[in-house]
Amino acid sequence: MLIQLIGLSHKTASVEIRERLHIEEAKLPSALQRIHSTVPEAMIFSTCNRFEILARVDELDGAAERMSGLISEIREIPQQDFEPLLYTYTGPEAVRHVFRVASSLDSMVIGEPQILGQMKQFFAIAQHEKTIAYTLHAIMERAFMVAKKVRSETLIAGSAVSVSSVAVELASKIFDKLEDKTALVIGAGEMSVLAIQHLQSHGVKSILVTNRTPQKAAELAEQINGRAVPFEDLSTCMAESDIVISSTGSPTFILKKDHAQKAMSSRRNRPMFFVDIAVPRDIDPQINEIDNVFLYDIDDLQSVVEKNRQQRQKEAERAEEIITRESELFWSRLKSMDIAPTIREIQARIEQLRKHEIELTLKKMGALSDSQKKALDELAFSLTNKMLQQSYSELRQLANQPDGLEKIELIRKLFRL
């Protein structure tokens, strides 16, 4: 059982690289099947802040390079553009990393709850596509349990924030107060809902909502006592908005420099604050060139995130202890569980060979009494059993050795299991 994780995140790659690797949900099944055609089990985690592949592989030699090549093919991006930014975790380190991600210890905002829901969604897609079996299923189920344990036994989520809340916090630093400001939220997804919740918690009362699907905008506006506006009137709506937060699934920019210039002209140059929390980005970065226009994307939120991270560091340290303990226990259990089926399969394989050879021998020896046949059968059984008992003992001990699983995989190949 060889487990490997390869990927990159906001810690190793810029938003430009992450958005090039990002796979939208509708295309995940085909990408999963492409990877699954080369490995026994595979999962993909593709969010705005990370792109990772978790897999059970047949052999470790060259596995990371092959996976990198697959990423290049699937996303049509030259390997040299992202390969230096990749990290690779194997075996227990891969399990620990998955536990940390699920528990939001590897997030841009430590303690944010969105990543757990996203991982459950990726897990469901992999289950539906049948690209995972027992091993990755066990890892993910345990990761969800560990994440719940971390949240219940620490205060890491006691004042949990998300990227949306950080965006609103940053807006409060741009303007003296937010109570008299008008906000335009583009998109009606989960991130937009969260952004609206944080805007309202900071006192913003006038909120406009727009979306390419008018019904979704209307439903969200009604839910939050806001006002739905036509997507086609985006430029006009911008003119009355002090804060613009965009989170859509558009593959291209929906707000460009000329849109902001027209809005600023109508506003008589009063400041505007833009937050782009979409991947790929929704807002052309060139609008930052306009006077009194302030644009921040996901990477720009890092300074505010760092402040929150420092406040939560003590709780994060406690969470790390839980994850280390849980990942070690799980890996030990996983290794032990991997030994048992191997031993059973070897026993079945040897028994099959023993019976086959007994049948051939009896045919050559001619007529024998039932007691003679039984004696011959018992002799063969005794010989194979005694020869293999020591081997089984060695196999059980392998589970606790650092390279035990690699050796067991080799034994499985030797026995053609």
Kindly tell me the burial class for residue 161, based on how many C-beta atoms sit within 10 Å of its own C-beta (0-12, 13-18, 19 or more). buried
Q: What angle do CA 157, 161, 163 make, to 5 degrees?
A: 140
Q: How far apart are CA 188 and CA 323, in angstroms?
A: 35
- Please compute Rg for the chain using Cα positions: 29
How far, rounded to the nearest angstrom, does the alpha carbon of residue 147 sit from its chain's CA centroid? 13
Distances (CA, A) of 362 to 352, 356, 372, 379: 16, 10, 10, 13
The label of the residue with tokens 């990726």 reads 122
Residues 6+ apart with CB under 8 A from 326: 99, 142, 146, 149
Nearest Cα to 81, choosing from 32, 8, 23? Answer: 8
Distance CA(99)–CA(246), nearest Å, equals 30
> Per residue in 387-417, is it b (16+ CB within 10 Å) or e — as a string?
eeeeeeeebeebbeeeebbbebbeebeeeee
Annotated catalytic residue, options 5, 48, 147, 278: 48
* Dihedral pair phi/psi, residue 278, rounded to 5°: -105, 150
Closest C-alpha to 129, from 8, 50, 48, 44: 44
From CA 273, how far away is CA 285, in angstroms rounded?
Answer: 13
48 is catalytic: yes
- Which residues form the catalytic set? 48
